[in-house]
C-alpha cells in the first residue's frame, strides 16, 4: 500500500533503493531464474539476503515466484510487468554510472552516436526537453 505522505521518488526508493534489489531485477530482465541461478548471477550476495529481497520484491508485486518442486520447496522467479518496467530505469542508471565514472554512455549500434534519454509527450508529439521549463514535468 502506498504511503500517502511519500513522494513518488520516496515510494520508489523504499522498494528498490537498497544494495541488491536493482541487481536482482537486472538479473531477472533476461527471464525467469531459479534461486541458485540467481545466486550465481549475483556474486557476493548472501543467500539469506537474496531470499529476503525476493520476498520483499514479491510483496511489492515486482516479482512472482512459481514452485517447480514441492519437496523440497523450490521456486523460479520472474518479473511482473511492473518489475520489467524497471528495465528502462536500469538502463538510465547504467548510462549515468558509465558517464559519471569517466566512461562512455550508451551508443546507437547502427551509427555509433551517443544516445540521449528524453521525456516524450505522446499527446503533443514532442520532446519535453527541460523539466524546469514552464513546469513541463509534473509527478502526480
Domain count, the chain: 1
> In 3-state terms, what secondary structure has residue 74?
strand
CATH (domain of 16):
1.10.10.10
The region that residue 102 occupies, defined by phi over 0 for left and psi between -120 and 50 for alpha, beta otherwise, is left
Instruction: Note whether 32 and 78 are within 8 A (CB).
Output: yes
Residue 60 domain flag: yes
Residue 44 domain flag: yes
**Does 5 or 75 have the greater pLDDT score?**
75
* Averaged pLDDT for residues 74-96: 93
Residue 61 domain flag: yes
What would the pLDDT profile of 14-62 be if each residue is shown by its tens digit? 889 898 999 999 999 999 999 999 999 999 999 999 999 999 999 999 9
> In 3-state terms, what secondary structure has residue 8?
helix
Segments forming the whole domain that contains residue 27:
8-84
Amino acid at each position: 500500500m502506498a504511503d500517502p505522505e511519500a513522494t513518488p521518488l520516496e515510494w520508489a526508493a523504499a522498494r528498490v533503493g537498497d544494495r541488491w534489489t536493482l541487481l536482482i531485477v537486472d538479473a531477472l530482465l533476461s527471464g525467469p531464474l531459479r534461486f541458485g541461478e540467481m545466486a550465481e548471477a549475483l556474486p557476493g550476495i548472501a543467500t539469506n539476503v537474496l531470499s529476503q529481497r525476493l520476498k520483499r520484491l514479491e510483496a511489492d508485486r515486482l516479482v512472482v515466484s512459481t514452485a517447480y518442486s514441492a519437496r523440497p520447496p523450490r521456486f523460479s522467479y520472474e518479473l511482473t510487468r511492473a518489475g520489467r518496467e524497471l528495465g528502462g530505469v536500469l538502463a538510465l542508471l547504467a548510462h549515468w554510472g558509465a558517464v559519471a565514472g569517466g566512461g562512455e554512455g550508451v551508443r546507437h549500434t547502427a551509427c555509433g552516436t551517443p544516445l540521449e534519454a528524453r521525456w516524450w509527450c505522446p499527446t503533443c508529439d514532442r520532446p519535453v526537453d527541460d523539466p524546469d521549463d514552464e513546469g513541463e514535468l509534473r509527478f502526480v
